[in-house]
Amino acid sequence: MEYKKFGERLYIRVDKGEEIIAAVLSVCRKEGIRSATFSGIGGCRDAEIQTFLPEEGRFETERAEGMLELVSIMGNVMNDGEGGLYPHAHGLFAFKKNGEHRVIAGHIKSSTVLYTAELELRPVFGGEIRRKHDAETGTGFWDLRG
């Protein structure tokens, strides 16, 4: 992984074999970033995608492998309320299976780079976004009081 700051934004290149979410969190820790949003594209070799099932209060996980075009990743990093960072990312991957073009999308639990991933990280200035647990859904949301 390599990254560089231009103005208030950081540009991250995640290299072959590296996990994307871990790379974003690593940059945030190195730079002292407590809250941020990010987006990007790339080529991955695997992805764990989750879909939240509200009626069951749980995530269903699906794994995809092979040449996965990361068409889009969008996410944020927030203060988890206990001094750590909590990532939340969604993504869309395109791939071929049995000669057909397919897509998989949802909450990204993890994704390993096959060739490269290129991300833009936009830190929050003047405050921080915290994660607030929502007992009704069992998930977390932005707490903007920080």
Residues 65-103 have pLDDT tens digits of 999 999 999 999 999 888 899 999 999 999 999 999 999
Characterize 117-134 residue by residue with b for buried, 16 or more Cβ atoms within 10 angstroms of its Cβ, and e for exposed: bebebebbeeebbbbeee
Residue-range domains of the chain with CATH: 2-143 (3.30.1330.80)
Q: Note the pTM of the prediction, 2 decimals.
A: 0.93
What residues contact 23, with CB distance under 8 A and at least 6 apart? 1, 12, 14, 117, 119
What are the tens digits of pLDDT across the range 13-42?
A: 999 999 999 999 999 999 999 999 999 999
The torsion angle over the Cα atoms of residues 88, 91, 97 and 101, rounded to 10 degrees, is 160
- Paired tokens of 133: 């647990």
What are the tens digits of pLDDT across the range 97-137?
A: 999 999 999 999 999 999 999 999 999 999 899 898 887 77
